[in-house]
Chains A and B, each alone.
Chain A
Amino acid sequence: MSDGIGARVKRKEDKRFITGKGKYTDDIRMENQAYAAFVRSPHAHAKVTGIDASAAEAMDGVIAVLNGAQLTGDGIGNIITGWAITSKDGSPMNIGAWSALATEKVRYVGDAVAVVIAETQAQARLAAEAVDVDYEELAPSVSTAKTLQDNQPLVHDEIANNLCFDWEIGDEAKTDAALSGAAHITEIELTNNRLSPNAMEPRAAIAVFDSAEDHYTLYTTSQNPHVARLVLSAFYNVAPEHKLRVIAPDVGGGFGSKIYIYPEEITCLWASMKTGRSVKWTADRSEAFMTDAHGRDHVTKARMGFDDTGKIVGFKVDTIANIGAYASLFATATPTYLYGTLLSGQYDIPAIYGNVKAVYTNTVPVDAYRGAGRPEATYLIERIVEKAAREMGRDVADLRRTNFIRAFPYQTQVLLAYDSGDFDTVLDMAQKAADVAGFPARKAEAASRGKLRGLGYSCFIEACGLAPSAAAGSLGAGVGLWESAEVRVNPVGTIEILTGTHSHGQGHETTFCQLASDRFGIPVENVSIVHGDTDKVQFGMGTYGSRSGPVGMSAVMKALDKVEAKVKKIVAHSLEASEDDIVIEGGEAKVAGTDKKMAWHEIGLAAYMAHNLPEGMEPGLKETSFFDPVNFSFPSGTFICEVEVDPETGVTQIVQFVAADDFGTIINPMIVEGQVHGGVTQGIGQALLEGVVYDDEGQLLTGSYMDYTMPRADDVPSYVIGHGCTPSPNNPLGLKGCGEAGAIGAPPAVINAIVDAIGTENIEMPATPQRVWAAIQATQMPVAAE
């Protein structure tokens, strides 16, 4: 059983990845393949007054130059958002029209206005330069904080004040009353910085139209090919679902940015039909910076009230969330049901009120990015709790313990009901691993070298395992969020597991196989995964929101239950025993208490030979299941970050990072640790290095790795990882999900550590050396004697 649940099985997929044999979208070549290059707006906001493609059309290799008027004229629908949010006054959200190729107006730098299809990529790009677009420039609205103001230009002419919605959660009157009676109030204003997702593989698509069958095939870099097919069919009118196959082959990272169905895929499909050619597009890194949906970008003010024992009595939050120029697929869900619902954190807070205004600006759309809403909630809660502890002279860990939730299930004041957790134990584990007791000595030693040491905590909780379909539907979701699985046992006993989730770095090809290996005691090599192809897998909702384990694996478990039940019937019949006495282990089915048994491959063969099956049993050994969770799952954890700041240069070095998590049951600790490493590194990137900058004209200034800093190996320490375990009661394996925790929990731990080191709260992410140095200088300005 060394390949089963809990085993550190090496990743099966890594052989092809590390030998350069992965097959990504751009590696695929079709017969008759042509290339697309998009003509993109250099302006953040402008009217398109004319497009002259005559010079481009005359160039070598150019097959066609197509524009938005032709696209909409052919009935291609506008791009949708998938979650309907209702404003607090009862009005529906305001959605601005988004055509895959802009028609009358461009609304961000990079908005596509036309596409060139040519014989080679170089010819397509050259010709795209020759397309002459006349723009009538308009003043842009760029600032998240200011775009709601009356004097700001309108991103969508019909949407007043650039307001998408004004949403609320919780009880305002109760919260106001609680705050007015509080013994202490802590206030905070903070910005959650805007991030570029930076998947290693840029987005790409190949669209293949078969005119004989009126059938389309789309190869694309998608986290959820079935959702892509559904949306392309139902809303963009590309083709009915049975005439459209979507294949997401190897995908090199997503982090949320490859959930969405972007203008380029839609345009390639349509252009394939228009030109009769297979049409390929691969983004370059500049296009990725300009057009991949960004993440975060909140401006928040909040107040938290405490009684005289340090117990939180109320929490009031006011957030402006920038969604960019258009409402992308999950853009409306992210700052609401993935943010406002998490405002209780790990704490028993009797009164909470959150108000979120989602706003349009002349910037690329902002959508879910690893963590999606939950990092924003965690950053806010964990910053304000530590600030409060310092203001009240309390130990930052003790103040948290004063407020921890200890009885489960726990109904928060913001819709969610937490199913399980043990916050004290995980905090203890983290403090021990971080040697918190020894910190004062380390701080003194650092001080002797002229360095400032600080310790910062983050006690986070997230809602993962998206999502119970009925609950999601009642909150406005446009789809169900269950998952499907199919387990096919072949006549020789090997197994294929078909899943509607999609692996783009998560290691599904290993962990999903471990489930079957664990169940039947067969080697993990004898199991493989089929995913990422709508013609092969019946349906699925893809991978995001740490759902592949809690939801996807649960569907696999249900299908395995059915296979196991059928196997027992077959074996009992063959061996003339009672099926209750059949035990499956070590690749054999045995009759308990006897030496009668069947090898696993004999069972598969028996099922398919069908020479001797129980009366009425259908031949074959293949079972399907759909799993719809009854609740979200709630991974939690405590991160403790220790930093050393050089006050002369402002450089922050992370000297220790402890990540103690509670992910419930763990299938493969090695893969989970890899997910934590990656997530924490992205969180450290947000805290110290990364930040998208647009200038006042809406020009993207961080358009390359010269100006957008990703974390590198020497920016992060060797992580210390620990796991607590309170299994989720809501799925068969007790899984909670681990993909996003690091990115959710890390930023406040890092910033709290810097605050602890430098002695001021006035520091924003990314805490670059320049900002840290300036913050230190500001504290050392001469002040009047106290």
Chain B
Amino acid sequence: MSFLKIRDLSVILRGTNHRLLRGVSLDVGATEVMGLVGESGAGKSMIGKAVLGILPRSARIVGGSIELDGVDLLTLPPRQRRHLIGQKAALIPQDPLTALNPARRIGPQISDRLVDILGWDKARARARAEEILHDVHIPQPDRVLRAYPHELSGGMRQRVLIASAFAAEPRLIVADEPTTALDVTVQKQILKLIFEMQARHGTALLFVTHDLGVVSKICQRLTVLYGGLVMEEAEVGAFFEAPRHAYSRALLAATPRHTDPTADLTPVPEAVIAEARRAVAEADQRWHA
């Protein structure tokens, strides 16, 4: 059974009838790693934000359902919804620079949620924070707990954020391009760490990325998004053998191969984009009717 179950989710730009998400359906199994790919502006982050209840003010959910562990979030009153999301889900954000509060020490930023959500006392939460920093291979966790974010390197901050995401043992983690803001040299380590933690904790993972290469290595399934519309959803093995959808094929052809990085890349052909656009227009027509 899937832990996260999104059905027909539509999100509009507030005050318009322009849809940012066009009836998205998506499942993530209880310990599954689901890749979410698509070009910039496709709506990948919107999906993650909708699940975590942090949509921007300018976006509004107008239809569909988001079930987390069998409970439809959208029918819950806000307080309960926040509480449920806090208990079951967490985010590994893209930019470690703005994801930690510059004015607060690392320690409370990790342990606060343990106190808030799990109702632990401060001492226990602190001990857990130290333990989880140790788990993400941070040397001298007690020192880092007392540090301010600006005292840490980008890679270190991202480790802290990974630790923080796993601290309360959530069942689902949304990782929104967790390495794009990092130095190339640390990207690999951070990726490895995320999947090491995911495997150890058996967490469901919704992994947003541009990098099909990474998806091929670590995801079980993937969803291809274009213009807020799901183009294709497939097992990773089958997808990389033979993507069903023309857009997926084009996307694959436009991605550098790790096996042969020098091979020519084909940009997504006009015809394929035109077809994807047509699909979007059709979806909108059905929706407005």
Note whether A and B form a binding pair: no
A interface list, Cβ under 8 A from B: none
